[in-house]
Amino acid sequence: MSVLWVLGAGQLGAMLKQAGTPLGIDVRPVDIESTETLALAPTDIVTAEREEWPETVATKQLATHSNFVNLATFPQLADRLTQKQWLDRLELATAPWFPVEADSTAAKAYDVLGERVLMKRRRGGYDGKGQYWLKQSEGAEIPEDWKGQAIAEQAINFDEEASLVGVRGKNGETYFYPLTLNLHINGILYASISPLERLKPLQSKAEAMLSKLMNALDYVGVMAMECFRVGDELLINELAPRVHNSGHWTQAGASICQFENHVRAVTGLPLAPAEVKNQSMMVNLIGVDLNYDWLNLQGLELYWYKKEVRPGRKVGHLNFCSGSHSVLESALTKLDLPEPYPEALQWLAKNLPKL
Ligand code: ATP
Ligand code: MG
């Protein structure tokens, strides 16, 4: 029996392992700092829970394996510059942008992109880290160490943020989950809700966009597309060539979760459309201590990542799924979480479809 190795041993790797268990697949997440000699067999398969990695004893072994699925795609999407170039080449709508080069100036940025410009480091950014706002009103300049290292993006006055999680099999077939509405606070995902009737008119457009990308990259597995909704339009914010935080609700709310779909796709097992159950909501646990009192709430599933709790760090998530509006509403009123959670819980309550 082949092993599915995962480059990275964070929560995504752990949840891939959990999803592989009922399928009888031995999923082995590997810490990138591991110095072990891995017992890699030629028929094994390799995937990743992260889009980039340093060269280490562990990553060198995995990245030289001939069955590393999507190996060539990771550097393309991990660098925001080449990711944006892919979007432009495929004529997929995205926030207007330009590469920040040695001779780039803030004046040029304001001229080309408007008075609010968001610089994003090409590599390594996550949870809003690696961002730098240029505001004309504040006379901001481009710091030297951002030149050649970043892209500059127009500030988008979006109505809301939504993401699409899709999966593509080795034979090219694709399946998608319903669009998920996401709330970010300070650049970090706090809450998601799906499915939403009012996002349905955008579903086929979103699927066509992500299909175009996955097909162009001959991608296999789960990919997530984060979007800004501006009126009836979707602008792609960024892509993740992996399972994604905004798809965590599928663990509770779909017959096949994103993790199982990814495992099935990369190991060449059959894919099937996921049946979506009821209403789901997801709340990220960010910098908060574990509290088993949460388990008193009906409709709740707890995922605790066993990481040291630090401010701003994702240490777990709560999934809620129920066919009863009042169960979900009451969970939101009973959840006792510190600032800025009241905003996130109110946002969920506001978006929760009324029966
Ligand atoms: P992730 O943790 O999803 O990888 P990230 O830190 O890599 O996130 P982005 O997704 O690019 O970075 O940005 C984080 C958040 O910042 C977005 O979800 C959005 O709320 C806000 N943001 C990003 N780009 C823009 C933009 N051009 N205009 C306005 N807000 C933006
Ligand atoms: Mg993002």
The Cα 180–Cα 193 span in angstroms is 6
Strands (E) located in 19-171: 26-30, 45-48, 97-100, 116-121, 131-135, 150-154, 160-168
Q: For residue 259, give the H/E element and its range.
A: helix 258-266
51 lines ligand 1 (CB under 6 A): no
Atom of ligand 1 nearest to the CA of 184: 20
pLDDT for res 170: 97
Residues pairing with 74 in the sheet: none
CB 175 within 8 A of CB 274: yes
Segment 92-116, tens digit of pLDDT: 999 999 999 999 999 999 999 999 9
Atom of ligand 1 nearest to the CA of 188: 2
The Cα 77–Cα 93 span in angstroms is 16
pLDDT at 1 over 80: no
Hey, which of 12, 123, 131 would you mutate to test ligand 1's pocket, going by the most ligand atoms within 8 Å of its Cβ? 131
pLDDT at 128 over 80: no
Q: Burial-class residue 96 by CB neighbours within 10 Å (0-12, 13-18, 19+).
A: middle
CB 279 within 8 A of CB 328: yes
- Cis ω on the peptide bond leading into residue 195 (within 30° of 0)? yes
Distance 237 CA to ligand 1 centre (A): 7
The Cα 328–Cα 348 span in angstroms is 10
CB 99 within 8 A of CB 119: no
CB 155 within 8 A of CB 117: yes
Which are the contacts of 143, defined by CB distance < 8 A and separation ≥ 6? 132
Task: Give the pLDDT mean for 236-243.
Answer: 98
pLDDT for res 60: 98
Task: Tell me which DSSP letter residue 256 carries.
Answer: S
Task: Give the pLDDT mean for 259-279.
Answer: 97
pLDDT for res 300: 97
187 lines ligand 1 (CB under 6 A): yes
131-135 and 116-121 beta bridge pairing: antiparallel
Rounded (10°) angle between helices 11-20 and 258-266: 70
Task: Tell me which DSSP letter residue 230 carries.
Answer: E
Ligand nearest to the CA of 152: 1
pLDDT for res 124: 87
Binning pLDDT at 50, 70 and 90, where does residue 354 land? confident
C-alpha gyration radius of the chain: 20
Instruction: Please state the pTM of the whole predicted model.
Output: 0.97
Task: Tell me which DSSP letter residue 156 carries.
Answer: P
Task: Tell me which DSSP letter residue 186 carries.
Answer: T
CB 30 within 8 A of CB 62: yes
Atom of ligand 1 nearest to the CA of 240: 4
CB 199 within 8 A of CB 162: yes
Q: Whose CA is nearest to atom 21 of ligand 1?
A: 187
Distance 311 CA to ligand 1 centre (A): 19
pLDDT for res 322: 96
The Cα 20–Cα 16 span in angstroms is 6
161 lines ligand 1 (CB under 6 A): yes
Distance 66 CA to ligand 1 centre (A): 34
Binning pLDDT at 50, 70 and 90, where does residue 244 land? very high
- Mapping DSSP to helix (H, G, I), strand (E, B) and coil, where does residue 328 land? helix
CA 184 to chain centre: 12
